[in-house]
Amino acid sequence: MTTFHERRLALSVDVVLRLAKRSDLPKLEWYGQYAHFRAVYRRTFHEMQSGNRLMLVADCQDYPIGQVFIQLRSQEQHIAQDGRRAYLYSLRVMEMFRGLGIGSRLVYEAESILAAMGYTWVTIAAAKTNAKARNLYERLGYRVFGEDPGDWSYTDHRNIVQYVHDPCWLLEKNLRVR
């Protein structure tokens, strides 16, 4: 068998944090992994255009390798309240880019946007099965203040309604306490 001694390339690539653009929508499906959220992404993008939500992405070579979405208002005021409390959700980073600080930076930049908009509180949810996410949020200054049954539904790319049950901790952070 031919032997090949591994070679190491030390590359430096720029990752740019920016708001999502329409051409990101198919790419946010991550080559099929999140195709089931096609309609959710489309709706979230429209909600960004109408000022109810923001989609922040981490872009590497014009590909969104990470994301966090921000809900700016809600009927449930412990989740989000116009001008006062916002909800961060759908935080994820592509597996091969994890552990490099991108997830933390997405949360930090989302907080900066919200502070500049005059928001005081940020809510974030961590699935009870996802202890690592809860640890990460606590390290970023969030504290558990409640829990949620995590029941919601969406229509997938095959037009089938999917019901989700994912109980979670609710965590919050006061942006004025730095």
Ligand X SMILES: CC(C)(COP(=O)(O)OP(=O)(O)OC[C@H]1O[C@@H](n2cnc3c(N)ncnc32)[C@H](O)[C@@H]1OP(=O)(O)O)[C@@H](O)C(=O)NCCC(=O)NCCS
Binding site for ligand X (CB under 6 A): 91-93, 98-104, 126-127, 130, 132-133, 136
Tell me how far apart the terminal alpha carbons of the chain are, to the nearest angstrom. Answer: 59
**CB neighbours of residue 173 within 10 Å:** 21
Residues with Cβ within 8 Å of 155's Cβ and at least 6 positions away in sequence, in order, are: 39, 161, 162
Q: Among residues 120 and 130, whose Cβ is nearest to ligand X?
A: 130
Q: Among residues 56 and 91, whose Cβ is nearest to ligand X?
A: 91
Q: Among residues 82 and 135, whose Cβ is nearest to ligand X?
A: 135
Q: Which helix (H) or strand (E) holds 24?
A: none
Shortest Cβ 144–ligand X spacing (Å): 13
Q: Among residues 69 and 83, whose Cβ is nearest to ligand X?
A: 69
Shortest Cβ 57–ligand X spacing (Å): 12
β-pairing, 121-127 vs 85-93, is parallel
Measured from each CB, the residue nearest to ligand X is: 103
Residue at token pair 């690539």? 13
